[in-house]
Structure 1
Amino acid sequence: MLQELEQIAQIVEQRLEQHFIRGRTLTLKIKFSDYQQITRSKTMFDYTRDWETIITTATALFESVEFENRSVRLLGIALSNLENAKATQVIQLPLFEYVESGNC
């Protein structure tokens, strides 16, 4: 399963590079064959899109999970808390324009 995790991390890194974005919060999602799912996440100090950071963090989260002899049917890695998300925030415009007194 760690090989699959490495491949997923490579795909995540490629997509981040393709869109010139970096993230701080890595989330690992695991779905089991009995349809239960768990997520584990870690917020890092700096923004990243580096494969080594992604796989190291994902592996640490994966190894912290108790599998109890259950089969895994899905693994997923997501990076959120994106750096450029701040640049695309919605700005509320004023309802009325400022009018100087006497120019009504």
Structure 2
Amino acid sequence: MAGYRAEDDYDYLFKVVLIGDSGVGKSNLLSRFTRNEFSLESKSTIGVEFATRSLNVDSKVIKAQIWDTAGQERYRAITSAYYRGAVGALLVYDVTRHSTFENVES
């Protein structure tokens, strides 16, 4: 079948991590980008979760692997290990909570 590509067939793979305090919306950004879903009742992430989405750019398939890290301080030691191999990071903060912006530095 012409034009068919398997789920694991891609030209480029990019790993990106979402980083920020707990409750700033990292999981909802991931959910919106990968599944076009949004939930006001989302639960805190424990450890790390990830999802993927494939995009066609200039006739190439780009697979984005987005890693959602837990924002709680107690998970920082384990979540930092997931940054390895990432080509980018999205620093997320809540514009209504200035402390989450201040914490971006750490």
Q: Return the TM-score normalized by structure 2.
A: 0.29
TM-score normalized by the length of structure 1: 0.29
Bigger helix share: 1
Q: Which has the larger radius of gyration?
A: 1
